[in-house]
Amino acid sequence: MSKSSSTKNSVRILPESLINKIAAGEVVERPASVVKELLENAIDAGATEVQVSIKNGGKDLISILDNGCGMNESDAQLAVERHATSKIINEEDLFRIRTLGFRGEALASIAAISHFEILTCNDETQGATRIFIKGGYLEQVGKIGFPKGTKVTVERLFYNTPARLKFLKTTATELQHIQQHLVQKSLAYPHIHFRLTHNRQLLLNLSGGQALETRIQQLYGEEFKEILMPVKHEETYLQFSGLISFPSKPKAWVMLL
């Protein structure tokens, strides 16, 4: 047995930067994971307008702008720390989750493996907060003019974790995964206006404030509405409603809320 393999290392606390990178591996598998987390934050913030801009399948740039409630400066600085969230307060809240996210890991994990900028404002008279983080290290905090809402920009994803970077697929594949998340969220939240641009080309522009049937038509065409049947069920602890395709039709499809 070699000396190196037999040597026992002492137990130690990992550096915060390394902890964040390990957590990032759990939260962020690919650009679509970033889009998913940021979309869910925008929806939880009460946004009715969400604009997603990406470059090179999200490998070079992911930018998500929403008109949600935004944050003040102190909340914004806390939001990029690990396990910081406004969505739960105590253990009892785990039994009454009403949001898409609640762990408080996403922003810190994303910021640890990218060039990360957040602009956020909850009161335009007070101005917006801008925070820039590079590879998990805080670079800048300041005030800036910005409307109510939040814009998160993620550039050079996985630039400091080359092992993860090399496992990314082609631009077309990564784009397909991102589009899938947009379609899923747009079906679940037809009242929200979603836009998706890739390399400055508009791919999706789904107006909000619509019924689910209208959103389905926006995505799949008028003829698709003809094969759908409404379903609804309620129990003491569970309720669902939505649309399901007829079994006799060639394209199986279901959307439940």
State pLDDT tens for residues 166-189: 889 999 999 999 999 999 999 999
Question: Domains, the chain, ranges and CATH?
Answer: 16-210 (3.30.565.10), 221-256 (no CATH)
- Residues contacting 5, CB < 8 A, separation 6+: none
Is residue 141 within a helix (H) or strand (E), and if so which, with residue range?
strand 137-144
**Average pLDDT for the chain:** 84
pLDDT band at 197 (very low <50, low <70, confident <90, very high): very high
pLDDT band at 65 (very low <50, low <70, confident <90, very high): very high
> For residue 18, what pLDDT is reported?
63
pLDDT band at 163 (very low <50, low <70, confident <90, very high): confident
Nearest to 36 by CA among 52, 14, 59: 52
Assign 190 to helix, strand or coil: coil
What is the amino acid identity at position 105?
Answer: E
